[in-house]
Amino acid sequence: MAAEEKYRISPRTRIGHVHLKVSDLERALDFYNGLLGFEVTQKMGDSAAFLSAGGYHHHIGLNTWHSKGGPEAPKNAVGLYHTAIVYENRKDLAMILQRLIEVEYPLTGAADHGVSEGIYLNDPDGNGVELYYDRPRTEWPKDYEGGLAMYTKALHLEDLLAELKD
């Protein structure tokens, strides 16, 4: 490779899972398994659990190895901003939104980014969670030079919930 060429990661590379430190494993399982619907694939006593969508070994790891009973991380410190969970389609996103509304789980935001629509909330340990769906690439907004032109606009939740009426 020539010195002027920049290294590029393979476009087939994926991020496989997130592993979160939590203060109370059962409380975290109530959220990720009981509320969001991830299946528990393995539990290691009362210190760790692994969860999946669709039978993968795990998409989410939870542990209390260094955090059992600990406080939330300060908002003004370095660390994970949020975990993003992508849904297959807009209707699936509407379904989880309806579930959150039914159980009165608080949202921290909702946004249309042009490339995606997302709803935001915090898990019981204060970890940010984005639930979103990606629009087809052909619909992504472009700038005048043809580059990506993401934005942040309000996501109208009523419009999203209308997906459930079809």
The C-alpha atoms of residue 106 and residue 34 are separated, in whole angstroms, by: 16
**The CATH number fitting domain 81-166, selected from 3.10.180.10, 3.40.50.2000, 3.40.50.1100, 1.10.1040.10:** 3.10.180.10
- Residue 157 confidence (pLDDT): 97
Domain 17-69 fold: 2,3-Dihydroxybiphenyl 1,2-Dioxygenase; domain 1 (3.10.180)
pLDDT score of 5 more than 80: no
The answer to whether the pTM exceeds 0.75 is: yes
For 126-144, b/e burial (b = at least 16 CB within 10 A) is ebbbbbbbbeeeeeeeeee
As a whole number, mean pLDDT of residues 99-122 equals 98
